[in-house]
Amino acid sequence: MQPAMNTFYSISHVIASAFSIGSMSGLLIGIVWLKILKALEGESYKSILTLAIVLLLYSFTESLGGNGAISSLMFGLVIGNAKTISHILRSKEEMKTEKEMKEFHSEISFLVRTFFFVYLGVIVAFNSLYIVLMGVLLSVLILIGRIFAVCLSSINDNEIIKNRSLMIIMLPRGLAAAVLSQLPLYNGLSNANIYLDIVLTVIVATVIMCTIGVFIFSRSKAKNEKRGKS
């Protein structure tokens, strides 16, 4: 019992340490960079500089034993909520995220998402029908779980009840699931490729479910509107 507890505490300590270091480093660097961006207002290449800072922050946090992804997330939250952060810090000069930087971020995000899924497609190999069926089964279970969750959350709420069908079909898995599926491979676990195959199947299956669901929902909504007019 004692060795198991020691293992639990050591794992908890490592996780808490990685997340706390990542959060604090992202928060502090984000605030500092906001002030620098304010000083660089009107200058060119601020968006590229911000991207470079994120990459440096990730490397710096990982070298300290923190979680680079969490630090990048915190940095992004600070930059994206500059106006709120300036109010919290009671800054004399209001800081804000410029429209150009948001557009640059959306373009970079699109590029990263596109090439990441291309990368997944290259490394994934559906060698077994059983794995594909397992992925489809998991997708169906996700749909069933979402139906129960939406029905429970919409009790005594007429506004949610009106949009219940739409909330149910908004279930696609995406980039987050794809990124996390890399962890077994990254940590050298046996049969790590199986996780990739299953996750990619779930992503594709849930996207197909959502597409079909939206089509059916839009058709039924159009029919109801025609009946209402007539």
Q: Regarding predicted confidence, which is higher, 188 or 22? A: 22
Look at residue 194 in the predicted model and tell me its pLDDT: 83
**What 3-state DSSP class applies to 154?**
coil
Shared domain check, 95 and 34:
yes
Q: What is the pTM of this model?
A: 0.63
- The number of folded domains in the chain is 2
pLDDT tens for 160-217 read: 777 788 888 888 887 778 777 777 877 777 877 788 888 888 988 898 898 898 888 8
Asked whether the beta carbons of 193 and 125 are under 8 A apart, the reply is: yes
**What 3-state DSSP class applies to 115?**
helix
Asked whether the beta carbons of 203 and 174 are under 8 A apart, the reply is: yes
pLDDT tens for 101-132 read: 677 777 777 887 788 778 777 777 777 788 88
Residue 180 structure tokens: 């996390």
Shared domain check, 219 and 135:
yes
| Domain encompassing residue 9 | 2-109
Asked if residue 117 belongs to a domain, the reply is: no
Shared domain check, 135 and 221:
yes
The half-sphere exposure of 18 on its side-chain side, counting CA atoms within 13 A, is: 12
Distance from C-alpha of 223 to C-alpha of 230, rounded to nearest angstrom: 11
Shared domain check, 133 and 101:
no
The Cβ of residue 9 has, within 10 Å, a number of other Cβ atoms equal to 10
Confidence of residue 4 (pLDDT cuts 50, 70, 90): low
